[in-house]
Amino acid sequence: MDLLSLLNEHAVIELSREGGVAYMPKLAALQRFALCDLSSAQREHLCRLVGRVALLAQHSEQSRTPGSGDQRYYRILIVGHPQGEAQATQAEIKVPESSAPPELEILWKNGTV
């Protein structure tokens, strides 16, 4: 599935931080963004960020590097309806915290675009 086809005004983006040695719910702090609730400038900014981050991502179907179990990562789940399709489709992106841009951390912490 082409990621860009999901990023339209009907998509929902969920962002969380996961991983590490111990699970702490406060550190996961899911942020949810419905693109229909954002202004066109906010929507464009968020979609650009997701597109940039997708280039850095390790997709969930890729195997993890041995010894990286204590590494935290940002998980981005995009749920959307590609143009002309009635059924929802989703894509998942995982970005290691060490290679994530500062904008992604700010978005996760603040929950505002």
Q: What is the pLDDT of residues 49-83, one digit of tens each?
A: 998 898 877 543 354 554 556 788 899 999 987 77
| Mean predicted confidence (pLDDT) in 78-103 | 85
Residues in the chain: 113
Residue ranges covered by each domain of the chain: 3-110
33, pLDDT greater than 90: yes
Instruction: Confirm if 6 and 80 have CB atoms less than 8 A apart.
Output: yes
| Mean predicted confidence (pLDDT) in 83-88 | 74
Instruction: Tell me how many degrees the CA angle 9-27-21 measures, rounded to the nearest 5.
Output: 125
The confidence band for 89, taking pLDDT boundaries of 50, 70 and 90, is confident
> Residue 110 is encoded by which pair of tokens?
């603040």
| Mean predicted confidence (pLDDT) in 40-56 | 90
